[in-house]
Structure 1
């Protein structure tokens, strides 16, 4: 048997006293949590431990004695050794430290007597009373694992994916050890400045960590959360109006990025303003990430407002917008006139080419008239739209996406017209091609079945197939051109949506912990030899391995529409080939909570 003793580094120089901790169930390991200093009364120690057990789920007990050589306490070792008859125990640890040595001397005593010692050539045995006659060196059978109690207390141990680092048994033992330290928080509230019958040494014995700013924020958070909750209730009451729940209003709101972002922000504020205490680690991290993301978003929005409303940049942007729209419309007119001729020397169907060209030119004419009609009000609209940035940068970007969608609405209409016409011809040709092969599509069974056609049906099918086949190049050319234009707009809007999603979902608080306090998010531990002196057990130092940055993002990111599966590149190319409408930035299914 190898006995592992997890010993806190803060207790290496503690005064002599009793070791308080826990034996890990199912493992030959003990976790030392604190040292109770002499002088003390055993009855007071038992009462104090019973109070701690009632506040936690950890079965704390007296593990043994700790002896630190000091002047005037020469007989302390024998006194502490006799205390093993007072406190109930299965194994009693007698740990002492000699002057001039970094290593400890450890004797393990049970009710039946000494089992084995940290000194060489001692009797060997185990905590269950069984002896191992083959081992003659007891020092090699005791391992001290020194750990930083503060880091272990504040860290969250995540599952280790690399099986090479540690086995499942070691992972279970380490997880139990981490949970023991984290669950013993009431034990760490007693420091040396408190008036009481007991004096202890642990990671907060020199004074508990406190911050006046943190305490003030905690006191102010309650009324602020109540105010936010009341404002959200008013907002939900306004949204419950019947006219806003009608089908046209819901359809329009689902297409506007600003409304989608408003829904996400409402859910985020509800999560942050919830009065329910976050007891679980993931729940706390989600609240903290959302809170930090909202603060950073609003700070960036205020910076954008200060830039926009300085030096009359709103007026400059409004004066530039109309000429840019006219230039885009002029370029589209020239493109359509080029398509109505002989583009790239291609032979087009002149009648269909003229009909499609004039149809699209008429839409451009209507759009130019609409832009010039709205030009006197553009500056005022942009002035009020810029105020939306006070709600956050994501709102400003969402409004920008909606403005781009409105300014390029004519391109979207061209794409829809061309795609629908092209899709109709593609599906018509596919259906007529099955007619030639004596097949038909069974709508009920969703499969292709055999079918016999008469002569008239074959004649009409051949005629329609020929017409659609010869008109397909002209339709495909218009579809190709307007699809490319639509993809440029979609790409720009996709970049905007990715930026909004990055601010909404990126775990800023978790990443700050990863860089500032990497031990808070632990993936595992590593050990290095601290000291190995003759006549003393092996001493190891346990260091915490922080999780990778990619794992932090994957584990703690806030769910948004980018977290849902989208169409693959193959499915997207298939939709483009058959003429189906594409919205690659939209998520599938219901919006995430």
Structure 2
């Protein structure tokens, strides 16, 4: 079995010295992490590696020697490096040397008897491998996932080895991807320093809000009912959970928690930025007053159109012959609700502009909060349509249940409530006569009720469709992993779906030389892996069950109002 050597390309220009890394015995692989060059003391090197083993948990050791041949003076250095194999006893002992006239390196591995072994040399970008996270995928399954995961884990856990650059005073001098200096940013460091007091302030603010919300006045029946029904209250509760997630202090977070926090922060910042833009647009040019002036005529227009629709239904709609008495009763009943609604709008008209002015200020909390308020406003302005739908659905459902029960009576069946099944039953003549009479009455009154139910169900579904589009936009703003998508777009190597190998040189008698490159995670997998918990849970009913509920007159909602708790 060949010995695989993973060599970082950043060490190609390093001076002669030792190869520091880890040996993976299960895959017979050597992962080179750095090169240690002169001057060094072997005892201090062993002590330094022993200290790093306690910090990283890796079995760091001297894997072999590295020789950068530049002239005749290096011949003595090569002989000295060859003697170091007796001090750092590692099997197999690697020997790598750079030729001046070639772009590749000589590479060999000796066993206990100093016999040469077959070598496969794999070059890798240490910075990309250090910062990337390997995700399971189909391309990874085709390769050896255990070996690749071990290589990625070894490079990731060796971060303390890269904390020492060549300008630091220490027992060793190393060459690795950060040898030229630690990469840092003043803005990033200032944000890290400021995050601690900000998180403490957020924790205190959230504790204060939780204490107020847990009081008996706010947790009572009317307010708790509104909190569960209004989309604005639900979105505010969602915002509170997001702030609680961000303010949690975890000194050693895992990758999933870090990505969730980062996606939440970016989503909140974008949401608030869009909300501030909306607020600036509303308060520029007196658009609040224009909306208030247009809202009352729009509500009156909707009420007038509903009155015209009811008058059409009370006549002969589409040439259908309806039950005159029932049609007039239902039409006047619904017309009375429209008059009540018009009176309510007239009563609220002087306060509409003031209400919209204060609602516009809520856009500073985010665009999702403003859209949730818009959804609640639509629900309040179309409350009479919802009432019409409920009245028509209940009346229609009652008739459908009555017809189904009387139909079973004709067939000599009845519904067994205890066993939840249909059983046989014998009826006398009076029961059959009364059942026939009631069945006839309900059957001839059904078309009139069904027409009203159909019209108001279509109106209700139209309103629900508009609210559903708003809720989808809010859900997209709150659950889209923007940070992960930006990372995939700008730093594609950070999210790895696997690796691919490109052959650099394959000649008989020489080691096989491969270049390992990172395959970025596809955008679909990024959305699937890092999507934030949805603010709403969508219906689990199929289209068939939904149509069945509409046919029998059960109240249906396109989405559930209560969302699932996802910890």
Aligned to 1:366: 340
Q: Alpha-carbon deviation of 1:546? A: 0.9
Aligned to 1:295: 269
* Deviation sequence 1:498-552 (CA, Å, 0-9, x none): 1111111100000000101011111111111123356531211111111111111
Name the CA distance, whole Å, in 2 between partners of 1:25 and 1:153: 21
Q: Alpha-carbon deviation of 1:589? A: 6.2
**Preserved contact between residue 11 and residue 201 of structure 1 (Cα < 8 Å):** yes
Q: Alpha-carbon deviation of 1:6? A: 0.7
TM-score, structure 1 length as denominator?
Answer: 0.93
Indicate the SS of the match to 1:333: helix
Aligned to 2:415: 441
112, 134, 148: which is aligned to 2:125? 148
Farther-moved stretch of structure 1 (64-73 vs 500-509): 64-73
Indicate the SS of the match to 1:403: helix
Q: Alpha-carbon deviation of 1:115? A: 3.2
TM-score, structure 2 length as denominator?
Answer: 0.97
Aligned to 1:456: 430
1:45 matched to 2:22: no
Indicate the SS of the match to 1:89: coil
**Shift in CA distance, 55/83, structure 1 to aligned 2, threshold 3 Å:** same
The runs of 4+ residues in structure 1 deviating greater than 6 Å are none
Name the CA distance, whole Å, in 2 between partners of 1:143 and 1:475: 81
376, 387, 394: which is aligned to 2:350? 376
Q: Alpha-carbon deviation of 1:586? A: 2.1
1:160 matched to 2:137: yes
Alignment size in residue pairs: 566
Indicate the SS of the match to 1:463: helix
Indicate the SS of the match to 1:144: strand
1:235 matched to 2:223: no
**Preserved contact between residue 68 and residue 98 of structure 1 (Cα < 8 Å):** yes
Aligned to 1:105: 106
Aligned to 1:29: 29
Indicate the SS of the match to 1:111: coil
Over the aligned positions, Cα root-mean-square deviation in angstroms equals 1.4
Aligned to 2:74: 73
**Preserved contact between residue 497 and residue 585 of structure 1 (Cα < 8 Å):** no
1:18 matched to 2:18: yes
Name the CA distance, whole Å, in 1 between partners of 2:322 and 2:537: 45
Where does structure 2 lack aligned partners over 5 or more consecutive residues? none
Q: Alpha-carbon deviation of 1:416? A: 0.5
**Preserved contact between residue 92 and residue 110 of structure 2 (Cα < 8 Å):** yes
Aligned to 2:185: 211
Name the CA distance, whole Å, in 2 between partners of 1:524 and 1:264: 35
Farther-moved stretch of structure 1 (66-75 vs 312-321): 66-75
Q: Alpha-carbon deviation of 1:588? A: 6.4
Superposed counterparts of 1:567-578, under 5 Å: 567-578=541-552
**Preserved contact between residue 104 and residue 536 of structure 1 (Cα < 8 Å):** no
Aligned to 2:442: 468
Q: Alpha-carbon deviation of 1:51? A: 1.1
**Preserved contact between residue 67 and residue 96 of structure 1 (Cα < 8 Å):** yes
Name the CA distance, whole Å, in 2 between partners of 1:234 and 1:547: 41
Indicate the SS of the match to 1:196: coil
**Shift in CA distance, 589/261, structure 1 to aligned 2, threshold 3 Å:** closer
190, 194, 217: which is aligned to 2:168? 194
Name the CA distance, whole Å, in 1 between partners of 2:9 and 2:464: 58
Name the CA distance, whole Å, in 1 between partners of 2:88 and 2:377: 76
Q: Alpha-carbon deviation of 1:374? A: 0.4
Aligned to 2:87: 86
**Preserved contact between residue 302 and residue 392 of structure 1 (Cα < 8 Å):** yes
Name the CA distance, whole Å, in 1 between partners of 2:106 and 2:307: 91
Aligned to 1:124: none
Name the CA distance, whole Å, in 2 between partners of 1:471 and 1:564: 36
Q: Alpha-carbon deviation of 1:262? A: 0.8
Name the CA distance, whole Å, in 1 between partners of 2:110 and 2:550: 78
* Deviation sequence 1:221-277 (CA, Å, 0-9, x none): 111111111111110011011122122322221110001101111000000011223
Superposed counterparts of 1:174-573, under 5 Å: 174-532=148-506, 535-562=509-536, 566-573=540-547
Indicate the SS of the match to 1:242: coil
Indicate the SS of the match to 1:272: helix
**Preserved contact between residue 479 and residue 535 of structure 2 (Cα < 8 Å):** no
Indicate the SS of the match to 1:23: strand
Name the CA distance, whole Å, in 1 between partners of 2:336 and 2:548: 31
Q: Alpha-carbon deviation of 1:159? A: 0.5
Q: Alpha-carbon deviation of 1:439? A: 1.6
Indicate the SS of the match to 1:315: helix
**Shift in CA distance, 563/471, structure 1 to aligned 2, threshold 3 Å:** closer
Farther-moved stretch of structure 1 (472-481 vs 107-116): 107-116
Q: Alpha-carbon deviation of 1:443? A: 1.8
Name the CA distance, whole Å, in 2 between partners of 1:415 and 1:44: 83
**Shift in CA distance, 208/563, structure 1 to aligned 2, threshold 3 Å:** farther
* Deviation sequence 1:117-176 (CA, Å, 0-9, x none): xxxxxxxxxxxxxxxxxxxxxxxx32111111011111010011347x624xx1110011
Q: Alpha-carbon deviation of 1:458? A: 1.6
**Preserved contact between residue 535 and residue 563 of structure 2 (Cα < 8 Å):** no
Name the CA distance, whole Å, in 2 between partners of 1:182 and 1:63: 19
Q: Alpha-carbon deviation of 1:32? A: 0.6
* Deviation sequence 1:96-128 (CA, Å, 0-9, x none): 121111222222122322233xxxxxxxxxxxx
Name the CA distance, whole Å, in 2 between partners of 1:329 and 1:114: 95
**Shift in CA distance, 536/12, structure 1 to aligned 2, threshold 3 Å:** farther
**Preserved contact between residue 19 and residue 34 of structure 1 (Cα < 8 Å):** yes
Name the CA distance, whole Å, in 1 between partners of 2:291 and 2:563: 37
* Deviation sequence 1:307-343 (CA, Å, 0-9, x none): 0000000000000000000111000000000000000
Name the CA distance, whole Å, in 2 between partners of 1:231 and 1:432: 62
1:57 matched to 2:33: no
**Shift in CA distance, 545/436, structure 1 to aligned 2, threshold 3 Å:** same
Indicate the SS of the match to 1:205: coil
